[in-house]
Chain A
């Protein structure tokens, strides 16, 4: 075990992938000389050279499209988009090309591209850098959407994603990059099919992912003090959802709160909630609750930004309401 950060774990994963497989290369804005806007790729240009760590112009559609084409041509590209906010410029490439090409080619083409991007608020970067749109991507069939919330997943999901013959999007909550913790020295690839129970409990299930996992665990800790035993599920894979784990937990606890940094309307939380209604209605003792972001462009001012996104007191309050307390 050694102490590391989420940022270093992601970097270790990229480095390992580049070493393991000649076909892997990284491209995106500022990933080379600047070392990545979140310093994830710092040092990689020196180690692997400009052929494999490629700086690109400010043109999300172009370089994402290039990455998709490279994947279809046999490479294993990792495309980094600075934040999900900018990825909308590449949405056409991701949805109309990457997600559909296997189907539209009758299975003749596959597109093993991995697209990483930062998501989430909390860094006072104002609306255009702070939104959580991973739920939108989770809407699209043909791609897999991952949200590593722990050091193990930050370290391990990339390799599993590169192994997938279809496009995989990895959403890294930007607030997590500084998260520090212990990681096994031999940490490696992880399963990306299953949600993980991060904390066991029997009174209520709190479902979350990515940047909200820490807050949700803190809320569970606080609920424990009130005599409420909360189970915390880290969804990990937003598409396809691991419905089995979700429903089994809710059937045990009979209550569920979904915590999602996306906006409430049409959110991933809405999807999870609907699945619970479809699959576990008769097991419920309370309506499924949701804690989501306020439906505003995420504000710049620190206190307003904090108020706009899910926080521990809101999660605790929602859980208590579901318990009838």
Chain B
């Protein structure tokens, strides 16, 4: 009896989703036969088996996401006798051992090039209490420069900057210190460019449908109730992120951490300089009107410097839009530890092919700056296309 397992289809793959079975229980299978389709971050991949025999039973149903190595099905092998001595773990990951023969290579080379086992084998893990970790994550505080006063020198909540450490107290109201903000932006953006391997994609979107719908909807409304194009864009992004969760979250401790909810940070320029990207929590679930109200409120409060601390952190992805006065295309810098920034340039009338003919349409260039550690260009392209698709049916937003 052999087990057909979830294969490892790349060094970074931890789990895969079984999409469909191509063989039924009872069917004969031969080594090399494709018997299942597995969805990974790289797309749907056909998986062959390494045994010859009869597919005995499914152990996993289509739709299930399971870790690499999980048995997916049992195969009754024909050559049980010669397979017998092998334990029940003939993994299909024969590819892994292929890299393994290395151990033979390291013959005792008197190579002084590599210093002998360095006295600092590995940077000791920084001690940060769970409370301090949580608060720092919520408020976007960089822990690296903070001295710890807790047990064993651990950074505890009280060591964080005063305003941030008191969970109950609200953030100081009043004017923002633009000098401090410049420093914060400098630190965050330098870190971003230093640590995050960005890749960039751009995609032109025909906004005519959205524009028409917006004009019709706003026509019947008083000015204070009117919707802005920006709201449609944020909503489309939020919905698209729901379908492509690898862009919605953070990269921390060498791993992608999916966001709990879709909290879209909206970059808002501050008069006098500076930029802030407060989060709209659970943006994918808000109606366009609610989203509009949130945006209006945020913009007003950014101007008056009265943002809440909860809005300053916690975004799971950021939207940056230059609106009507900006340039055609915006290539953003990811706000760490997020993994994606969606940029929108200025919508403008452009010559555009509609079917066989040429027409003038309002077109907007959407860009994606994404963290290559968390995602790849193929999925990025699909994300941008999804935003496009959603904007073609504004009513459904």
Residues of A within 8 A of B (CB): 254, 281-287, 321-324
How far, in whole Å, are A295 and B150 apart by their CA atoms in the complex? 29
How far, in whole Å, are A286 and B132 apart by their CA atoms in the complex? 10
Closest A residue, CB atoms, query B148: A324
Once A254-B157, A285-B156 are accepted as A-B contacts, the answer to whether A324 and B150 lie under 8 Å apart by CB is yes
Contacts of B129 in A (CB 8 A): 254, 284-286
The answer to whether B134 and A286 touch across the interface, beta carbons within 8 angstroms, is no
Closest B residue, CB atoms, query A287: B151
Closest A residue, CB atoms, query B149: A324
The answer to whether B130 and A322 touch across the interface, beta carbons within 8 angstroms, is no
How far, in whole Å, are A207 and B148 apart by their CA atoms in the complex? 26
How far, in whole Å, are A281 and B151 apart by their CA atoms in the complex? 16
The answer to whether B131 and A285 touch across the interface, beta carbons within 8 angstroms, is yes
The answer to whether B131 and A282 touch across the interface, beta carbons within 8 angstroms, is yes
The answer to whether A324 and B130 touch across the interface, beta carbons within 8 angstroms, is no
Contacts of B154 in A (CB 8 A): 285-286, 324
Contacts of A283 in B (CB 8 A): 130-131, 134
Q: Is the CB of B158 closer than 8 A to any CB of chain A?
A: yes
How far, in whole Å, are A286 and B131 apart by their CA atoms in the complex? 9
Q: Mark B141-152, 1 if CB is under 8 A from A, else 0.
A: 000000011111
Q: Mark B99-142, 1 if CB is under 8 A from A, else 0.
A: 00000000000000000000000000000011111100000000
How far, in whole Å, are A286 and B127 apart by their CA atoms in the complex? 10
The answer to whether A282 and B130 touch across the interface, beta carbons within 8 angstroms, is yes
How far, in whole Å, are A168 and B134 apart by their CA atoms in the complex? 41
The answer to whether B151 and A321 touch across the interface, beta carbons within 8 angstroms, is yes
Listed residue (A284, A287, A324) with the most chain B CB atoms within 10 angstroms of its CB:
A324
How far, in whole Å, are A254 and B158 apart by their CA atoms in the complex? 10
- A131–chain B nearest beta-carbon distance, Å: 31
> Can you show 29 pairs from A to B with CB atoms below 8 A apart?
A254-B156, A254-B157, A281-B130, A282-B130, A282-B133, A283-B130, A284-B129, A284-B130, A284-B131, A285-B129, A285-B130, A285-B131, A285-B150, A285-B156, A285-B158, A286-B129, A286-B150, A286-B154, A286-B156, A287-B151, A321-B151, A323-B151, A324-B148, A324-B149, A324-B150, A324-B151, A324-B152, A324-B153, A324-B154
Contacts of A285 in B (CB 8 A): 129-132, 150, 154, 156-158
- A223–chain B nearest beta-carbon distance, Å: 15
Contacts of B148 in A (CB 8 A): 324
- B375–chain A nearest beta-carbon distance, Å: 27
Contacts of A282 in B (CB 8 A): 130-131, 133-134
Contacts of A324 in B (CB 8 A): 148-154, 156
How far, in whole Å, are A322 and B149 apart by their CA atoms in the complex? 11
- B33–chain A nearest beta-carbon distance, Å: 47
The answer to whether B131 and A254 touch across the interface, beta carbons within 8 angstroms, is yes
- B129–chain A nearest beta-carbon distance, Å: 4
Contacts of B157 in A (CB 8 A): 254, 285
Closest B residue, CB atoms, query A284: B130
Contacts of B150 in A (CB 8 A): 285-286, 323-324
Contacts of B132 in A (CB 8 A): 285
How far, in whole Å, are A282 and B131 apart by their CA atoms in the complex? 5
Contacts of B153 in A (CB 8 A): 324
How far, in whole Å, are A254 and B156 apart by their CA atoms in the complex? 9
Q: Mark B140-176, 1 if CB is under 8 A from A, else 0.
A: 0000000011111110111000000000000000000
Contacts of A323 in B (CB 8 A): 150-151
**For residues 243 through 260 of chain B, which have their beta carbon under 8 Å from a beta carbon of chain A?**
none
How far, in whole Å, are A287 and B150 apart by their CA atoms in the complex? 10
How far, in whole Å, are A281 and B129 apart by their CA atoms in the complex? 9
How far, in whole Å, are A324 and B148 apart by their CA atoms in the complex? 9
Contacts of A321 in B (CB 8 A): 151
- A109–chain B nearest beta-carbon distance, Å: 45
- B387–chain A nearest beta-carbon distance, Å: 34
- B151–chain A nearest beta-carbon distance, Å: 4
